[in-house]
Amino acid sequence: MSNWERYIKNFVSFLKIEKGLAENSIFAYQNDVSKLYDFALGHRLDVDQLTYEHLKEFIADLYDLGLSARTQARIISGIKQFYGYLMLEDFVKDDPSELLEMPRLARKLPEVMSIEEIDSLIAAIDLSKTESHRNKAIIETLYSCGLRVSELVNLRFSDLFFEEGFIRVIGKGNKERLVPVSPTVEKEIGIYNDHVRRHQTIKPGNENVVFLNRRGAQLTRVMIFTIIKDLADAAGLKKSVSPHTFRHSFATHMIEGGANLRAVQEMLGHESITTTEIYTHLDQRFLRDAIISFHPRNMKD
C-alpha cells in the first residue's frame, strides 16, 4: 500500500471516529482527495512532494474540466481538511494547501415580488373565511417589517409597542431589535385579534402568541409556507413565493425608495452590511432610471 492509499484510509477513519461526520460527508471528502491522488499519480508525486504550485495546477485542471466554482470550492475544502489531518499526525512537515484561495462564488440573487404582485396576493385573500384576517395580518407583517418566518411565528403581544410605532423582534442568536411598524400592520393585527383570535379557545402556554392556528396553538413555519403558497397560487403568481420572498421584497423596496443601507441592515437584523448590500444589486433598472433622470448631463435644457 502506497503512502497515498494509507493516508487516505487513515483520513477516512479520522473523519468517522474523531470528527463523527456523516457517511455522505465522509464519502465527499474521500472523493475529493482521490481526485488529488489521481493527479499526483499522473505526475509521479508522493504526498509530501506536492507543492503549492502543484496544487494550483490541479485546481486549474478542475477549472478546465468545466467544474462549477461551488464544486471547486468543495474540493479545495476537502484538500485543506486532508492536509490539516496530515499535519496533525506529523505525516508532512509543510501544508501546501494553506495558501489556496477559494474561487469566488456568485451570489444567487433572491426572488423579489413587485408591489403590484404583493397587492394581487393580498387581494386573493378570501375575507369570507375565518382564517382570512389572520392570513392578511401575517402577509402585512412579513412584508412591512421584513421578518424571518421564525421571527413571525414567535411574535408575542408583549413584543408589540404600537403606541411607540415599533415591534420587538427576537432574531438569530437570541438578539433583540426594534423594527418600525406601519399603521397597516397595526390595523390588520387589531382586526384579526378582535374578529378571530378573541373568540378562540387558546391552548395553555399560547396566550401571548400573536398568530395561532385553528386549534389555538402557535403556528408552525411549515404552516406559514403553506398559507403563502396557496395565496400565490390563488393570485396566479408564476414565480416561487415563500415567507423569505417578502423579506427580500421589503429590503429591495426600502433601498429602491432611498432608505439608508445601515438602517435596512438594522431592521433586517443582519450582522454584516455586506449581507444587506446584495439588495443594492437586485434592480439595476431602478439605478439606471435614477441616473437618467437626475444626472446633470442628462437634464434637458
Express as a percent the part of the chain with pLDDT over 90: 33
pLDDT digits (tens, 9 = 90+) for 80-101: 989 998 898 888 888 988 888 8
Q: Phi then psi for 300, rounded to 5 degrees?
A: -90, 145
Once rounded to an integer, what is the mean pLDDT over residues 232-252?
A: 89
The CATH topology of domain 115-291 is hpI Integrase; Chain A (1.10.443)
Residue 188 CA from chain centroid, whole number: 28
- Which residues does the annotation mark as catalytic? 148, 172, 244, 247, 270, 279
Domain range summary for the chain, segments of one domain joined by +: 3-88, 115-291
Show the CA angle centred on residue 153, arms to residues 148 and 155, nearest 5°: 90
Inform me whether the pLDDT recorded for 263 exceeds 80.
no
pLDDT given for residue 274 in this prediction: 57
Q: What are the phi and psi torsion angles at 169 (to 5°)?
A: -120, 135
Give 301's pLDDT tier (boundaries 50, 70, 90). Answer: very low
pLDDT of 247 above 60 = yes
Mean pLDDT of the chain: 84
> Could you write out the three-class secondary structure of the chain?
CCHHHHHHHHHHHHHHHCCCCCHHHHHHHHHHHHHHHHHHHHCCCCHHHCCHHHHHHHHHHHHHCCCCHHHHHHHHHHHHHHHHHHHHCCCCCCCCCCCCCCCCCCCCCCCCCCHHHHHHHHHCCCCCCCCHHHHHHHHHHHHHHCCCHHHHHCCEHHHEECCCCEEEEECHHHCEEEEECCHHHHHHHHHHHHHCHHHCCCCCCCCCECCECCCCCECCHHHHHHHHHHHHHHCCCCCCCCHHHHHHHHHHHHHHCCCCHHHHHHHHCCCCHHHHHHHHHCCHHHHHHHHHHHCHHHCCC
Q: What is the pLDDT of residues 172-207, one digit of tens each?
A: 778 888 888 889 999 999 999 999 999 999 999 999
**Position 290 pLDDT exceeds 50:** no
Q: Which range scores top for mean pLDDT: 29-43, 131-145, 163-177, 257-271?
A: 131-145
Quick one: pLDDT at residue 300?
46
Which residues are CB-contacts of 264 (< 8 A; sequence separation ≥ 6)?
A: 251, 254, 255, 276, 279
Closest CA to 134 of 225, 248, 204, 214: 214
Residue 118: band (very low, low, confident or very high) from pLDDT cuts 50, 70, 90: very high
- pLDDT at residue 71, rounded to an integer: 82
User: Please, what sign has the CA dihedral across residues 112, 117, 122, 125?
Assistant: negative
Q: What pLDDT shows up at residue 262?
A: 76
- Could you give the CA distance from residue 165 to residue 186 in angstroms, rounded to a whole number? 9
pLDDT at 294: 47
As a whole number of angstroms, the distance between CA 43 and CA 37 comes to 10
Average pLDDT over residues 98-114: 74
**Across residues 5-21, what is the average pLDDT?**
87
Q: What is the pLDDT of residue 266?
A: 78
Average pLDDT over residues 19-35: 86
Q: Is the pLDDT of residue 257 over 50?
A: yes
Contact between residue 114 and residue 162 where contact means Cβ atoms under 8 Å apart: no
Cell of 187: 390595523
pLDDT of residue 109: 59
Label the pairing between strands 176-180 and 166-170: antiparallel
Q: Which CATH class is domain 3-88?
A: mainly alpha
